[in-house]
Amino acid sequence: MTAPSARVVAPSLPRVLGQIRPRPRWQELRLLTLVAIAMAVGSLSLGAVRTEAFGLYDPWGLGIYLGTLLLAHLAQVLAGRRTDQILLPTVAMLGGVSLLLMERLPQNLVVQRFFGTAFGLAEVQLIWLVGAIIVATTLGIVVRSDSWLRRYKYTWAAVGVGLLLLTFVLGTEINGQRLTLQIGPVAGQPSELLKVILVVFLAGYLSENRALLVEQDTRVGPLRLPPLPYLAPMVAMWAIALGIVVVQRDLGAALLFFGVFLALLYAATGRVSLVIIGMILFLLGSALMANLFGHIQTRIDIWIDPFADPLGAGYQVIQALHAFARGGLLGMGLGGGLPEIGGRPPIPEIHTDFPLAALGEELGIVGVVAILGLYLVIVERGLRIGIAAADDFRSLLAIGLALVIGIQAFIIAAGNLKVLPLTGVTLPFISYGGSSLLANALVVGMLLALSDKGVEAPPPPTSVSRWRRLTRRGPAR
Amino acid sequence: MDGFTLVLWGIRLLFLMLLYLFLARVIRALLRDLRAAAREATDRPGRLVVLESPGGEPAVGRSFGLDVITPLGRDVNNAIVIDDPFASAEHAVLTYRGRSWYLEDLGSTNGSYINGQPIDGVAALGYGDEVQIGQVRFRLERTRA
């Protein structure tokens, strides 16, 4: 920017943009530089293995990705908001690892046509990654008020349930799971969006009724439960989501919803007893459903002994375990894993459900631990943002959003490593998939917006909830 | 081992090292952030910010750090003195118990309000809620970490 001379008055920008006061973000720039160097080295490593000569593998894709990151950084500098500077580089690192992985997998796993041109796996993933960075940055710059979330929490809940019902009725079936909704040219998996909506609803509901949930008890025998009437709407929302999810056979999403639900309930009330009761209920429910539905029992059988049917049901899990074993401590190097057996990747659905196994093979346990560490960083940032937030709604929202990413990463990482039964959720920011990337970008964008230190105070509550008035006469004890 | 394999091996290790370098830098930033927050942290559980005060005492924008028990009223012995003709001498008490805030009206002439609703005895409130005593409006806020 040129400094305006004393006489000339700088033309005022339109009011929509407000005053532009750029604010440098050196920490973010330093970390992004480190991401760029790491990606270049990774690309070199991949290129050396694939082409047997030193040179960057797919320099164009790398350039587009890093260029988008630079633009996102510059846009945030220009916007001048005091938002978090660590989230974007961390997500950029995960996205970069994803890009390197997708470039290395067989490109014909996914072929999509846009405007008559066919794009392979890595190209489609690159398009979604760029889209995700744009979404996250835009939200982090534009969102200044949260009343559109806190005022309309029931509307959002209705939208979420509606989306699920729509998927159930109109969705297309892929691999026996009816998860994909196609409206015109746009196709997506609503359960990814639903997890964000669920957090918004729970944060709104819990912050409004927190005082009451903490203070009053319903006694059922020796148990002290929160007042049941006030838990009902929340449980209803959760049961609707879970019920449809179970009917849709999307176990991973069900597990994720339950984990987020319990974690937020604990964050809001501080009652360990609730979490324990929830877990017992969950175990009972799982046992019941395993008896009722064959596919759940199959998943558990595979988990207990995948070698019972090594070429059939257990094939995927066994191949993943072999991949981790081949990787060992330091891995085979990027591109050094077994690329394909008979024209197919060794692990079915490697690009969506098993990217961690592929990374385990190529980067070893050392690399996998680093990647899991990056998810921990995201969770830590979210919890810090939640603690520093001005009021309960923003606190619970930030905590819930961060935990969605953390719990989802845990569920699929544990599934890949045979710690938990395998459930098909995506590894955030690494798995292939537009819905997953965009939904997680929404989460990061909202965390960025919530982290602004100079943001305006939360809107005053318009009316007191009638639940909040505890009619207790007499002096406080 | 030929040179190509050796160099490739070096590049592979370098990539892993860069991953960890990034992680170390991020964690260092997080620790610095945590330490800064710990230095600034107060033992005050919250604060009351004055939003509106026709009498000018307390002044608009002033922020009161709150103790576990904070009496409010016109009398000078209150922790927060509200010089307003509609406030009683001992008007209300704000207490922090468990993990929640409570406002108790001490039988004041004109009552105490949370978010514009008169309270009846003791009422729970949360961060972001507005308290009105006489003509003075406050907002309960979390102490900034």
Tens-place pLDDT, residues A304-333: 888 888 777 788 888 888 888 888 888 888
pLDDT greater than 60 at residue A411: yes
B 35-64 residues with CB < 8 A to A: 37
Residue A369 has pLDDT above 80, yes or no: yes
Q: Give A472's contacts in chain B (Cβ within 8 Å).
A: 121-122
Q: Is A461 on the interface with B (CB under 8 A)?
A: yes
Q: Lowest-confidence range among A37-51, A75-89, A238-252, A365-379?
A: A238-252
What is the Cα–Cα distance from A30 to A24, expressed in whole angstroms? 12
Cβ neighbours of residue B36 closer than 8 Å, sequence gap 6 or more: none
- What is the structure's pLDDT at A13? 43
Among the partner-chain residues A330, A387, A464, the one whose CB lies closest to the CB of B117 is A464
Per-residue pLDDT of A92-136, as tens digits, reads 999 999 999 988 888 877 777 777 677 788 888 999 999 999 999
**Within an 8 Å CB–CB cutoff, is residue B7 touching chain A?**
yes
pLDDT tens column, A251-263: 788 888 888 888 8
Bin B66: left if φ > 0, else alpha if -120 < ψ < 50, else beta: beta
| Encoded tokens for A244 | 């449809």
Q: Could you give the CA distance from residue A241 to residue A278 in angstroms, rounded to a whole number?
A: 16
Question: In the 3-class helix/strand/coil scheme, how is A150-183 assigned residue by residue?
Answer: HCCHHHHHHHHHHHHHHHHHHCEEECCEEEEEEE
Q: How far is A446 from chain B (nearest CA, A)?
A: 20
Is B90 in CB contact (< 8 Å) with chain A?
no
Give residue-wise pLDDT tens across range B29-76.
999 988 887 776 666 778 888 988 888 788 888 888 888 899 999 988
- Contact at CB, A207 and B126, closer than 8 angstroms: yes
A473 reaches B (C-beta below 8 A): yes
Interface of A with B in 251-290 (CB under 8 A): 270
Contacts with B, A 361-420, CB within 8 Å: 363-364, 366-367, 370-371, 373-374, 377, 380-381, 384, 387-393
Query: Nearest-CA distance from B84 to chain A in Å?
Result: 23
pLDDT in tens, A207-250: 887 766 766 666 666 666 666 666 676 677 667 766 766 677 77
What average pLDDT does the segment A190-213 reach?
83
DSSP class of residue B118 equals: E
Predicted local confidence at residue B144, as pLDDT: 60
What element of type H or E holds A240? helix A228-247
Residues A423-433, mean pLDDT to the nearest whole number: 87
